[in-house]
A = this chain, B = another copy of it.
Amino acid sequence: MPATLPNLRINSDRLWASLMELAQIGATAKGGVCRLALTDLDRQARDLFIRWCEEAGCTVTVDGIGNIFARRSGRDNALPPVMTGSHIDTQPTGGKFDGAYGVMAGLEVVRTLNEADFETDAPVEIVVWTNEEGTRFAPAMIGSGAFAKVFDLSKELGKTDLEGKTIGGELERIGYNGATPVGGRKIGAYFEAHIEQGPILEAESKTIGIVTGAQGQRWYEVTVVGQEAHAGPTPMVRRKDALVAASRMIDRVNRIGHAHQPGACATVGHVQVMPNSRNVIPGRVFFTIDFRNPSDDALTAMDRDLRQACDEIAAAAGCTVEVKEFWYFAPTPFDPACIAAVRAGAERGGYSHRDIISGAGHDAVYLAQVAPTGMIFVPCEDGISHNEIENATPQDLAAGCAVLLHAVLARAVRG
C-alpha cells in the first residue's frame, strides 16, 4: 500500500443522479425496478453503462457470458487491473440500489480519478456481471461464477428460463455475446460496494460494513408427488395431497432456520402447484429452498434435518419427495489485505463502521476464488431489499463510494 494517497473526493450528487437515471430503465409504479437479466431492459441498461464508460475514456470489452469490463488505463498496463463493480439485473420486484450501486460507485471512482487527472499505476476496471440475481436463470451469480471457473461456460450458456430460452440465445439476441474469453486472467484485487440488504448497520447506526466474508449456502429443488383427484368426492383419508405435504415441509424449513442460529437463514421463495385448480387436489408441487449459514458444520446439520423432515412428512402424507441440492458453496473468507484497505478507507473518512458477514451471495464471493477480494456495505432502509421499496440515503451511498475509492487506490497505486 502506498504511504500516501491523493486526497480525492467523489461527487455525491453525480453518483446519485447516475443511480436515478439507471433506475428509470425498468422503473415500476411503486418506485422499484424490474429489469430481469438479458431482457430488452437489461440491454438498455447495459448500453447506457457502456456509453457512460466510453464518455469517461474507458475501453469496453464484453466476454462470452456477457460480462462487461470498462478499463481505465494505468501507468503500467502490464499490471493486473484493480476491478470493481457488481450487477445491473434486478429481481422482478427489485429496487434501485441492489447491484446498481456497486456499478455506479465504480463509475464514480473512475470519474473522480478523471476529474483529478489522477493516473493509477495499475489499470482500473469497472465490471458488470451477468445474471447475478438468478431469478430468470438459476442459480444466481452466473456471470461471475463462469469468470471464476466455478461454472462450466457451455453448460451455463445452455441454461433456460421458464419459457425455454437459453442464456446463450438471449445474449446473442441482445447483442452481448462478446468475443473476450471468460476469465483466465490475473486480477490485482476486486472490490464490490453494495447495500447491506439486511438490518444490522441501520440498527447499530453504522455507516460502513467491512465485509470479512460470506455465508455458506445450499440451494435445493424439492418435488413432492401425490395424486391428483376431484376435491369433492375424494375422502380425506384417501388423499395423497402433494400441497399439504409441501406445506408441512415449508413450515419445517422455517423451523430449521430458527433452530440453527446464529446466522442461519432458511427460505422457500418459489412454489408451483399442479394443476393449480380450485377443485382439484394437487398431484404435484415443486418448491425451492435457500439455506445459509456462516458455519459449514451448521449448514451440514441443516441439510440433514431437512432431508429427514421431508422424508417423514412425505411418507405420512402418502406422497413421494425428491430433495435435490443443486447449488452449494462453502462459507467464503475475504482477503485480509483487501479487508484492511476497506477498514483504512472507513477510518480515513471518519465513518462509523463494523465488521460484518455477508448473508447474501454476491459476485465478490466467486471473485474471491480467483482474486484478492473485499466488500463494502452501506445501510439500507429497514434492511429491506429485493423489494420495490428498497431505499438508501445519498449520504451513506457517498460514504461507501469514498471508501471504495480509497480501497481501489490502495491497491492500484504503488507504495
Which residues from chain A sit less than 8 Å from chain B, CB to CB? 91-93, 98, 133-135, 138, 140, 196-200, 203, 215, 217, 219, 227-238, 241, 243-244, 246-248, 250-251, 254, 257-258, 261, 264-271, 273-283, 288, 290, 292, 358-361, 383-387
Q: Bound state CA distance, A282 and B269, in angstroms?
A: 6
Chain B hits for A232, CB < 8 A: 197-198, 215, 217, 265, 290, 292, 358-361
The 6 closest A-B pairs by CB, nearest first: A198-B233, A232-B359, A233-B359, A232-B360, A231-B267, A247-B247
Q: Kindly provide the distance from the CB of A326 to the nearest chain B CB, expressed in whole angstroms.
A: 10
Q: Bound state CA distance, A95 and B243, in angstroms?
A: 21
Q: Once the chains bind, are A243 and B271 in contact (CB under 8 Å)?
A: yes
Q: Kindly provide the distance from the CB of A280 to the nearest chain B CB, expressed in whole angstroms.
A: 4
Q: Which of B91, B229, B274 contacts A277 (CB 8 A)?
A: B91
Q: Which of B198, B200, B203, B236 contacts A266 (CB 8 A)?
A: B236
Q: Once the chains bind, are B278 and A270 in contact (CB under 8 Å)?
A: yes
Q: Bound state CA distance, A227 and B268, in angstroms?
A: 14
Copies in the complex: 2
CB-CB nearest in chain B for A271: B273
Chain B hits for A251, CB < 8 A: 244, 247-248, 251
Known: A199-B235, A200-B233. A93 touches B228 (CB 8 A): yes
Known: A233-B196, A238-B199, A248-B251. A279 touches B269 (CB 8 A): yes
CB-CB nearest in chain B for A93: B275
Q: Bound state CA distance, A359 and B274, in angstroms?
A: 21
Q: Bound state CA distance, A275 and B265, in angstroms?
A: 18
Known: A385-B230, A386-B229. A269 touches B258 (CB 8 A): no
Q: Once the chains bind, are B264 and A271 in contact (CB under 8 Å)?
A: no
Q: Once the chains bind, are A277 and B384 in contact (CB under 8 Å)?
A: no
7 examples of A-B residue contacts, CB within 8 angstroms: A135-B279, A197-B230, A228-B386, A231-B267, A241-B254, A275-B386, A278-B288
Chain B hits for A92, CB < 8 A: 275, 277
Chain B hits for A257, CB < 8 A: 236
CB-CB nearest in chain B for A267: B231
CB-CB nearest in chain B for A98: B230
Q: Bound state CA distance, A402 and B176, in angstroms?
A: 72
Q: Once the chains bind, are A277 and B203 in contact (CB under 8 Å)?
A: no
Q: Is the interface of A mostly helix, strand, loop or mixed?
A: loop
Q: Once the chains bind, are A385 and B229 in contact (CB under 8 Å)?
A: yes
Q: Once the chains bind, are B200 and A235 in contact (CB under 8 Å)?
A: yes
Chain B hits for A273, CB < 8 A: 269-271
Q: Once the chains bind, are A244 and B254 in contact (CB under 8 Å)?
A: yes
Q: Once the chains bind, are B279 and A386 in contact (CB under 8 Å)?
A: yes
Chain B hits for A275, CB < 8 A: 91-93, 386
Q: Once the chains bind, are A267 and B250 in contact (CB under 8 Å)?
A: no
Q: Bound state CA distance, A88 and B361, in angstroms?
A: 52
Q: Kindly provide the distance from the CB of A296 to the nearest chain B CB, expressed in whole angstroms.
A: 16
Chain B hits for A267, CB < 8 A: 231, 241, 279-281
Q: Once the chains bind, are A387 and B198 in contact (CB under 8 Å)?
A: no
Q: Once the chains bind, are B383 and A238 in contact (CB under 8 Å)?
A: yes
CB-CB nearest in chain B for A139: B278
CB-CB nearest in chain B for A281: B267
Q: Bound state CA distance, A343 and B200, in angstroms?
A: 71
Q: Once the chains bind, are A244 and B250 in contact (CB under 8 Å)?
A: yes
Chain B hits for A203, CB < 8 A: 238
Q: Once the chains bind, are B278 and A265 in contact (CB under 8 Å)?
A: no
Q: Kindly provide the distance from the CB of A197 to the nearest chain B CB, expressed in whole angstroms.
A: 4
CB-CB nearest in chain B for A201: B233
Q: Bound state CA distance, A33 and B219, in angstroms?
A: 36
Q: Kindly provide the distance from the CB of A379 to the nearest chain B CB, expressed in whole angstroms.
A: 12
